[in-house]
Every structure is written in C-alpha cells, then in structure tokens.
Amino acid sequence: MAEKIATRVAYGDALAELGAKNDKVVVLDADLSCSTQTARFAKVFPDRFFNVGIAEANLVGISAGMSTMGLIPFCSTFAMFGAGRAYEQVRNSVAYPHFNVKLCMTHAGVSVGEDGGSHQSIEDLALMRVIPGMTVIVPADANETRKAVFALAEMDGPAYLRLGRLASPVFDNDLPFEIGKANVLRDGKDVAVFACGLMVAEALEAAKILEAEGISAAVINVHTIKPIDSACVAEYAQKCGKVFTVEEHSVIGGLGDAVADVLIGKVACGFHKIGVNDQFGQSGKAPEVLKEYGLTAPQIAETIKAGL
C-alpha cells in the first residue's frame, strides 16, 4: 500500500472513463467541480456536465428530473451540503419515487481537516442509511471507488457514494466488488474488525500491531453499508466472538449501528464501536484530527486490546 490516491480523485477519473462507455451518464455539480473532481468529466464531455451553482436543493431536484428522461445523473458536492442541506430533496425528490440518481458526495468525515466541524460531515451515513431504498457505499481505496462508480451505473435506483478529500493507500490486491458483499481482507480468530472507507487501511495496520502481540484480528472491508452483508457479519462475529467496528463517522447511525442491527438478538458476542463519539469535528491537519478522535492504527489497536 505504497501509493496514495484520494477516493474523490479516483471518482473523477472513473466518471470520465464511464462517460466514454455510457452516453446516458450525465454529471451535475454545485460549483465545486475542482474539489469533487467532476471537472475531469466536464473537460471531456462539456455537453453532459451541468454546474447548477451554489444551489444544492436544485442540484438534487434537477438530477431527479433528468433521471426521468432515461439519463443516469451522477450528482456531486460536499457531503455536508449534499446529504445535509439538500436532505429533503434527496428524500422526497429522489428516494421517495425511487429515481435512478447517484449521489456521490466528497469531503466526508473529519479527515477534511482544516475546513473544520462545519464542513466535516460525520452524520451523512446515518442520514442516507435511514432513507428507504437508498443504497449506501463507502469505498476503501481508489480501485474500489472506480468499481463502485461502474457498479452504480449498472444498478437501478438511488444510491449514496461517500468519498474523501485525503489521499489514502491503494491496496495491492485487486479484490472483486459487488454491491452488498463485504470483502475479508485478513482472516483471524480472536476479534473481527469491520471497517469502511479510510479506516480500512488503518484497521489493517492495527491488525499487524495486534499480531505482533499475539492477537489474531480478522479485518473485513464493509464497503456497502446498506444493504449490508449480513451473512459475512454474522459469520465472523460467531467465529471470533468479539466484534469492533471502525468508521470515520459518528458512532451513532453509521457502520457500527448497521453491524449491530445484524447481530442484536441473533449472535452472542462482545461488541464495540470505534468512531466519533457524539461530538463535532474540529479544524486541524487531517492526520492530527484523526489522531484527536482515536482513528489512527496504533490507537485502534490499543482500543481493541483494552476491549479484549
């Protein structure tokens, strides 16, 4: 995992590639195309790119309308604005009629860094996950992001793709991607660690630290939060007996709660959520902010040790 690429950058590249293969794909942005990387699509397909300005509700509404014409809108802005400010439009104009709109939002989580708590969306997974019929995906690296973009273009219905600002490691192994199916990146017997997004790489490093201390940790990449891979979650919870979830999101409503929903009343196991504990983010360099919230590999390893 030497190379680092932000998932938002991989998203921009994937869109441009997808646009050449599928002329029904259109891209919409709210005056943030350089940050969301949709400018890459705009450069190649200017007639299929629409900048609606700083008007996120209109962004989602126009995307909904375009989907009724047989187009496949990929709709992008910052997660705070797309999942937060435009929530009503996402719910009522896209999800309620089950329109084929792909909501691909970047700058999610506390790793946004210097923009601070006002822009660090740590509630977006909870907001999107609760909407009926909404598919929710958090890719772990650049390769998975590309596969997710192409998979979303093939599936029918609304979806939320969570992307990051910070460059993150690209995995050496080229794993298959299927919506709703988790990937076991590392097997283990003492503890099962379910992670998503930026935290997958941290969880893998944490597992190496734990291995050196005689603790065998399985690491499962849960790229699809909804529909979650219930069979995989239950299998590893039963196998290991202790479960930890790791996410760059509030511990309320995100991956941790999705995993808990699978296990509660069905699998007897120890359970602990690692994430942002009911507080807002704050401004700082991304690595320092992640450390402030206990989301680095050494801290994750320590939390798991303490929980065992």
* Tokens at 40, concatenated: 């890459």
Confidence (pLDDT) at 173: 76
Of the residues 3, 17, 56, 213, only one is catalytic, namely 56
pLDDT number for residue 2? 67
* Cβ-contact 37, 11 below 8 angstroms: yes
Find residue 242's DSSP bridge partners. Answer: 270
- What's the N-to-C CA distance of the chain in angstroms? 28
Low-confidence ranges of the chain (pLDDT < 50): none
* Tokens representing residue 66 in the block: 């375009």
* Tens-place pLDDT, residues 77-87: 999 999 999 99
Distance separating alpha carbons of residues 188 and 211, to the nearest angstrom: 10
Neighbours of 213 (CB within 10 A): 8
Q: What does the block give as tokens for 265?
A: 């009343």
To the query of whether residue 302 is one of the catalytic residues in this protein, the response is: no
Cα separation, 123 vs 107, whole angstroms: 13
Q: Please, what is the angle between helix 199-211 and helix 297-307, to 10°?
A: 60
Per-residue pLDDT, 1: 60
Per-residue confidence (pLDDT) for residue 176, from 0 to 100: 86
Secondary structure of the chain in HEC code, one letter for each residue: CCCEECHHHHHHHHHHHHHHHCCCEEEEECCCHHHHCCHHHHHHCHHHEEECCCCHHHHHHHHHHHHCCCCEEEEECEHHHHHHHCHHHHHHHHHCCCCCCEEEEECECHHHHHHCCCCCECCHHHHHHCCCCCEEECCCCHHHHHHHHHHHHHCCCCEEEECCCCCEECCCCCCCCCCCCCEEEECCCCEEEEECCCHHHHHHHHHHHHHCCCCCEEEEECCEEECCCHHHHHHHHHHHCEEEEEEEEECCCCHHHHHHHHHCCCCCCEEEEEEECCCCCCCCCHHHHHHHCCCCHHHHHHHHHHHC
The full set of domains in the chain, from first to last, is 4-169 (3.40.50.970), 183-307 (3.40.50.920)
The confidence score (pLDDT) of residue 276 equals 97
Query: CA-CA distances (angstroms) from residue 44 to 33, 41, 171, 252, 253?
Result: 13, 5, 28, 40, 38
For 184-222, the pLDDT digits (tens) are: 999 999 999 999 999 999 999 999 999 999 999 999 999
Evaluate the CA torsion angle 261, 161, 243, 294 in order and state its sign: negative
